[in-house]
Structure 1
Amino acid sequence: MSDRSGSASDETANTMADRVHGGRPVLWFLVKGNRILVAGTMLVVAYVVLIGLGQFGPGSIAKLFEPDPVFALFTPIIIGIIIGVSLVLTFNQLVLSAELGPIGDQRERMTDALDFRRDAEAAIDRNTSPPEPSIFLRGLVESTEERGRALLELLESDPEIEERAREDVREYAAGLVADAERVAADLEGQQFGRFEVVQAALEYNYSWKIYTGRRVRNRHDETLPAAVLERLEELIGILEFFGPAREHFKTLYFRWEIITISRALAYIALPALSVAAYMILIFETGDVAGTTAGFDHGLLVVGLGFAVGVTPFAIFLSYILRIVTVAKWTLAIGPFVLRETDRGADVEWE
């Protein structure tokens, strides 16, 4: 039996970089990178592709000196900006409507939140849980680390434990302790609203840890001492609190991101509309006649206007890319693993 907690294997790797095909560059593009930089990267790629096709693709650059192509390009951009921003703002209102409701609903939400806090406090033997998400999650992670170290100490203090059971528990606990130390350090000092909080929570592969912990316990429940079994139960119990807490903070973060998208589009929509309107009403390709390094000035300017015009779409796409990627990675809660890379050969009924 192997937890592979400290391994970089695709099957059960703890870090997102090891679980994502393509490694760190793809991970940066999907979720970790600053969304404005990601949007800028997409715009640069679109600009380069357009200029490259315009310069070296089949066709004639002479078409740019006619008004129809420019009109045909930028008119849909104006329509798309107006409709797109309106739809996003409408969707934003639908998301925020979940925050509105009668006092009974609000009181029930408060009661559920307080009940969860009390249960978590009892599980990790603390009196008052902190209000900040990063500190709350870090407390859960550090509690699993403490239980893992206690397991290792119990193994060392009892020489009569059967060797195979000792090795399985030691491997599980040691991997969990190492991973908890790393994630707790990542959570320290993080402020909610930044992706780093969600990122650190995603790094903690709690689903696999619950599954592996239950498998170790059930496989050796007849040979392990009661004290070791009790520590395993406590550890699994804390991991079961981590899942709902992560999902709750992830949901709040999604709402936060949607509001951020709406603000970003509100800022960029009018400048993008102004550029598109200028390209239709005023710009004449003949006014910028000439070439630079073999590239026609008209093509360069039209390409730049296109990039500015689709900036709202690029920003929207960069944020949605992160939201849908995180949502896909966290579709299941608890000891269920959906990603193909997480399926080990030893994941079977026992």
Structure 2
Amino acid sequence: MVIVDELNDLRDSPTRWVFLVGSRPILGICLFVGFLFVFYGLWAAGLVRFTNQTAILYILSSLVGGNLTLVTLVISINQVIISRQLGSPGELREDIEKVNEYRRQAIDPDRTEVVPVTPSDFLKLLLESIRRDLQRLGGLTASADDEQLRADTDDIVTNLTEHVDRVDRLIEGNGAGTFDTLSALLTTNYADRIYQIRRLRSRHREALSESATDLTDDIVSKLQEIDVARQYFKTLYIQTELAYISRVLLYAGVVAEVVLISSLLVLSSAGETAAVRALPSASVPAIAAVGLLPLAVLFSYALRLAVVTQRTIAITPFTTPEQEDELHL
């Protein structure tokens, strides 16, 4: 069922699947199969011949050294993650108090007595609160005498409400995980939306009622709270993903090293004439592909990490050209 859903996502948007929403293990397997296809294609076409034992030994030795470097990288990543998780009771208590303070400020206590603990439910409350404020703002300006004010307000309310509805649908469709919630916020540009609201208030300062002005302040504040939530979810996702990458890379690295070193031992033990019988040429492309397995794993996970970082690199009130470009995701 999971594979069927992934294939459906692939048909809907191949670029989005590869860069963002696709299963990283499935993408890594696709890359590994691609390596096999290329290597066996070259061998079947007669473009390469695995008869030179020295060349094969050189290639396998290079792969062994490269994978050992990846294992060292894994250890470094684990050290960084562990250092981020360590802390004294006082530091941990301070972090908890800051998170609780943010939750109290972001959610209206008059409407919600208990704040949800999952990222998706917390974000839904923020979106619902913004939707209510937008409807109230539209109602307050609907009877205004200034036609331009009504037009400008209606444009902001319509566009922002459509955005809130779209993000809400994405959350419902993705799931309740941290990345599922974060992915729904990757194509947002709250800096631009906040700028539009503040420009509306500046242009129609005299025509806006006090209640409407207060509502624009509330909407801006809640959009900023969503941006804070997005950055926090990104921090949680990156820490979790780096830990997972470390584990998967260790698995792939051990498999690759065992296969490569075993092949090297076989070739080294065999004579020049017996090397072909000891290690058939048909097995060399598969061995080379296994040697590149850690690279396939690293590529599949690092690609999404890079996209997430690029899409959230700036915080409100600033934006970047990379965040303006949606990359068709």
TM-score range (shorter-chain normalised) is: 0.7 to 0.9
Matches within 5 A, 1:5-24: 24=13
- Determine if contact 1:123/1:237 at 8 Å carries over to the other structure: no
Tell me the equivalent position of 1:192. 177
Aligned-partner residue type, residue 184 of structure 1: D
SS of the residue 2:186 aligns to: helix
- Determine if contact 1:137/1:242 at 8 Å carries over to the other structure: yes
TM-score, length basis structure 1? 0.79
- Determine the C-alpha separation between the residues in 2 that align with 1:288 and 1:267: 25
Structure 1 stretch displaced more, 108-117 or 224-233:
224-233
TM-score, length basis structure 2? 0.84
Tell me the equivalent position of 1:70. 56
- Determine the C-alpha separation between the residues in 2 that align with 1:44 and 1:301: 15
Tell me the equivalent position of 2:128. 142
SS of the residue 1:282 aligns to: helix
Residue 310 (structure 1) aligned with residue 292 (structure 2): yes
- Determine if contact 2:311/2:322 at 8 Å carries over to the other structure: no
Q: Determine which of 204, 215, 219 is the counterpart of 2:203.
A: 219
Tell me the equivalent position of 2:141. 155
- Determine the C-alpha separation between the residues in 2 that align with 1:336 and 1:50: 47
- Determine the C-alpha separation between the residues in 2 that align with 1:150 and 1:163: 18
Q: Determine which of 109, 126, 140 is the counterpart of 2:95.
A: 109
Matches within 5 A, 1:30-69: 30-53=19-42, 61=49, 64-69=50-55
- Determine if contact 1:142/1:181 at 8 Å carries over to the other structure: no
- Determine if contact 1:265/1:316 at 8 Å carries over to the other structure: yes
Residue 81 (structure 1) aligned with residue 67 (structure 2): yes
CA distance 1:83–1:270, shift in 2 (3 Å): same
CA distance 1:340–1:87, shift in 2 (3 Å): closer
Tell me the equivalent position of 1:324. 306
Q: Determine which of 155, 159, 165 is the counterpart of 1:181.
A: 165
- Determine if contact 1:135/1:187 at 8 Å carries over to the other structure: no
- Determine the C-alpha separation between the residues in 1 that align with 2:226 and 2:136: 19
Aligned-partner residue type, residue 243 of structure 1: D
Residue 124 of structure 1 deviates from its aligned partner by 8.2
CA distance 1:153–1:36, shift in 2 (3 Å): same
Q: Determine which of 82, 91, 107 is the counterpart of 2:77.
A: 91
SS of the residue 1:260 aligns to: helix
Residue 164 (structure 1) aligned with residue 142 (structure 2): no
- Determine if contact 2:133/2:215 at 8 Å carries over to the other structure: yes
Residue 25 (structure 1) aligned with residue 10 (structure 2): no
- Determine the C-alpha separation between the residues in 2 that align with 1:31 and 1:285: 43
Residue 225 of structure 1 deviates from its aligned partner by 2.2
- Determine if contact 1:261/1:316 at 8 Å carries over to the other structure: yes
Structure 1 stretch displaced more, 36-45 or 236-245:
36-45
- Determine the C-alpha separation between the residues in 1 that align with 2:154 and 2:90: 49
Aligned-partner residue type, residue 133 of structure 1: P
Q: Determine which of 112, 136, 150 is the counterpart of 1:126.
A: 112
Aligned-partner residue type, residue 235 of structure 2: T
Residue 190 of structure 1 deviates from its aligned partner by 2.2
Tell me the equivalent position of 1:248. 232
- Determine if contact 2:249/2:298 at 8 Å carries over to the other structure: yes
Structure 1: unaligned runs, 5 residues or longer: 1-22, 290-297, 344-350
Residue 54 of structure 1 deviates from its aligned partner by 5.2
1:145-195 Cα shifts (integer Å, max 9, x gaps): 121122222233x2x3311111111011011111111211222372325x3
Structure 1 stretch displaced more, 23-32 or 71-80:
23-32
User: C-alpha root-mean-square deviation of aligned residues, in Å?
Assistant: 2.5
CA distance 1:320–1:341, shift in 2 (3 Å): closer
- Determine if contact 1:183/1:203 at 8 Å carries over to the other structure: no
- Determine if contact 1:43/1:314 at 8 Å carries over to the other structure: yes
1:194-244 Cα shifts (integer Å, max 9, x gaps): x32210122443232212222222222222222222222111111011111
Aligned-partner residue type, residue 83 of structure 2: S
